[in-house]
Every structure is written in structure tokens, then in C-alpha cells.
Amino acid sequence: MDNIGKRMYRNLGDDTKVKISQSLRGRSKSASHIQAISQGMTNYWKTIPVKPDDNLSDKTEKEGQ
């Protein structure tokens, strides 16, 4: 993988989510700043695909039989 610093999928591990949450605690932001962050993140996440679920294709094949 050449893109070490870039995300390839949306999914994060629970431990990573906890670390992010802990690092952001105690910060205060203005309402306009919060809205700007929200809009920016919404636009960002629209560009990142959801990781394909291999189990979903297996499940569909079994249901079709």
C-alpha cells in the first residue's frame, strides 16, 4: 500500500475511535466553526467508499440456492 497516510475505507477499529474521542475531549468551538467542520466532513466522507463486505456476497449466494 503506497497511501500510508490516506484512508482507503470508512471503517475504523474501536480502539482507534476511542483514541480519537479521547484526544478531542475538552475542546470548545464556536457554532459557526462546528457547522463548517460538519459540512467539510460531510463532503469528505462522500468521497470515501464503504469497504466491501465479503460475507454479504456469500450470504446472497446461499439464499439464491
In this prediction, residue 55 carries a pLDDT of 76
The DSSP annotation for the chain comes to: ---TTS-SSS---HHHHHHHHHHHTT----HHHHHHHHHHHHHHHTTSPPPP-HHHHHHHHHHH-
Q: Which of 11, 6, 37 is nearest to 24 (CA)?
A: 37
Q: Return the higher-pLDDT residue of 19 and 2.
A: 19
Q: What digits encode the pLDDT tens for the residues 23-61?
A: 989 988 899 999 999 999 999 999 999 888 877 655 555
What amino acid is encoded at 32 in this protein?
A: S
In this prediction the pTM is 0.43
Q: Which three cell numbers stand for residue 13?
A: 477499529
In this prediction, residue 65 carries a pLDDT of 53
